[in-house]
Structure 1
Amino acid sequence: MARPRKFVESDVVSSASEVFAVHGLAAATLDDLVRATGLGKQSLYNAFGGKRELFLRALSEDREEAARAVSEALGHDDASPLERIRGHLLSMAIEFSGSDRRVSLTTRALVESTGEEDPLSTATKAGIEQLAGVYAQCLEHARANGDLPDDANVQSLAVYFVAVTRGMELLGRAGVGRGVLTAVALDAFRVLNGRRTEEPGDRPPAPE
């Protein structure tokens, strides 16, 4: 009897993530996953339960990584909370305008979620809430420092920044350039203090 093939689940999930990032859940095929992971269809089913279950496993890991990255970006103590958010948004404009950057599974899931009560929608909502929680923590610090008014709706602003950054990611995927994404980032930041005028050096040069 042939011995069952051994594999490292984390490696399979990582390879599958690349497939899902390129094609999304709906368009990715089992043949795509077989080629990427080196496992047969039956082995994939036996180990993960199917394509959707494998996507959810990959999405969970992507969600944790996304939250960790944002937390690190907003966690520097050498700048004020609002300066950290501004810097984070500008770095996202650079990152998302890169031609070789893949779309995160968190954003893929957001696009493909139907909003119905199913595992994909539940996982997508959890991802939004997790990211919003990271932004909310930084915004709470800003309010405690007096940089935001006492009546600022921190939870709403946190979800707003999730929406802005996920939207920037999709715009970058569609080919929108760094100049435009930078302008979006700066305009989004101005919502925090209601500014309607630009500070010197804020406005990037017009895209060519």
Structure 2
Amino acid sequence: MPRPRKFRESDVISSAGEVFAVRGLAAATLDDLVRATGLGKQSLYNAFGGKRELFFRALSEDREEATRAVSEALGHDGASPLERIRGHLLTMAIEFSSSDRRVSLTTRALVESTGEEDPLSTATKAGIEQLAGVYARCLEHARENGDLAEDVNVQSLALYFVAVTRGMELLGRAGVGRGVLTAVALDALRALRGQRMEEAGDRPSVRE
């Protein structure tokens, strides 16, 4: 008779996800995962099948969490679609500039992806498409409201905001400050509204 498990899978996946987000799939070792989760190597194998399988479980959970967060930020709250995007981007500028914030596993996987037809690239593309779908729905509402031109490419703009937010996250991890990230967020909105960047005035330096 098998012994009952004395751990919660969700806790193990969350702890493993933090390891993978910091070290990446290739660099993370089983010893790292053992220390982070409190499980022995054999228990990890028995429960999850190995390091790669645990990585993809953690990546899937992180992707779903990221999608839920963006969906909530862009949900209907009485504000216009573009106002919701603006609030979302400014919130991201604050969060990503936090000195103790790690890069999400979704973004780490994006950086490590080779673009080849392998499981990591496939999972990364799925994450991008999932996030882009959330932005696309909000942008479609903006177009219906007349805030965007009828001929605007909503899918392209949605991917643009995925690129902007993932880029902001990486810049924040590299030490770029809140002022610069806020400027990036506002310039992204100006681009959306068709305004020229030079009309925005002076921008803070990367060191600010």
Pairwise same-fold verdict (TM > 0.5):
yes
| Structure 1 partner of 2:145 | 145
TM-score, normalised by the number of residues in structure 1: 0.93
Aligned residues: 205
| Structure 1 partner of 2:159 | 159
RMSD: 1.9
Percent identity among equivalent residues?
87
| Structure 2 partner of 1:102 | 102
The 1:145–1:4 alpha-carbon spacing in structure 2 relative to 1, beyond 3 Å, is closer
| Structure 1 partner of 2:11 | 11
CA distance in 2, matches of 1:76, 1:100: 31
TM-score, normalised by the number of residues in structure 2: 0.93
Q: Counterpart of 1:9 in structure 2: which amino acid?
A: E
Is the contact made by 2:180 and 2:204 (CA closer than 8 Å) also made in structure 1? Answer: no
| Structure 2 partner of 1:132 | 132
Query: Structure 1 residue 6: deviation in Å?
Result: 2.9
Look up the SS of the partner of 1:79 in the other structure.
coil
Q: Deviations over 1:83-135 (max 9, x none)?
A: 11111111111100000111111101100111111111111001000000000
The 1:10–1:160 alpha-carbon spacing in structure 2 relative to 1, beyond 3 Å, is same
Is the contact made by 1:113 and 1:121 (CA closer than 8 Å) also made in structure 2? Answer: yes
Q: Deviations over 1:121-179 (max 9, x none)?
A: 11100100000000000000000000000000000000000001000000000000011
| Structure 2 partner of 1:170 | 170
Is the contact made by 1:183 and 1:203 (CA closer than 8 Å) also made in structure 2? Answer: no
| Structure 1 partner of 2:79 | 79
The 1:72–1:2 alpha-carbon spacing in structure 2 relative to 1, beyond 3 Å, is closer
| Structure 2 partner of 1:35 | 35
The 1:81–1:51 alpha-carbon spacing in structure 2 relative to 1, beyond 3 Å, is same
CA distance in 2, matches of 1:204, 1:177: 12
Is the contact made by 1:74 and 1:88 (CA closer than 8 Å) also made in structure 2? Answer: yes
Is the contact made by 1:20 and 1:105 (CA closer than 8 Å) also made in structure 2? Answer: yes
Structure 1, unpaired ranges of 5+? none
Query: Structure 1 residue 204: deviation in Å?
Result: 7.2
Structure 2, unpaired ranges of 5+? none
CA distance in 1, matches of 2:202, 2:86: 13
Is the contact made by 2:19 and 2:28 (CA closer than 8 Å) also made in structure 1? Answer: yes
CA distance in 1, matches of 2:2, 2:145: 65
Q: Counterpart of 1:194 in structure 2: which amino acid?
A: G
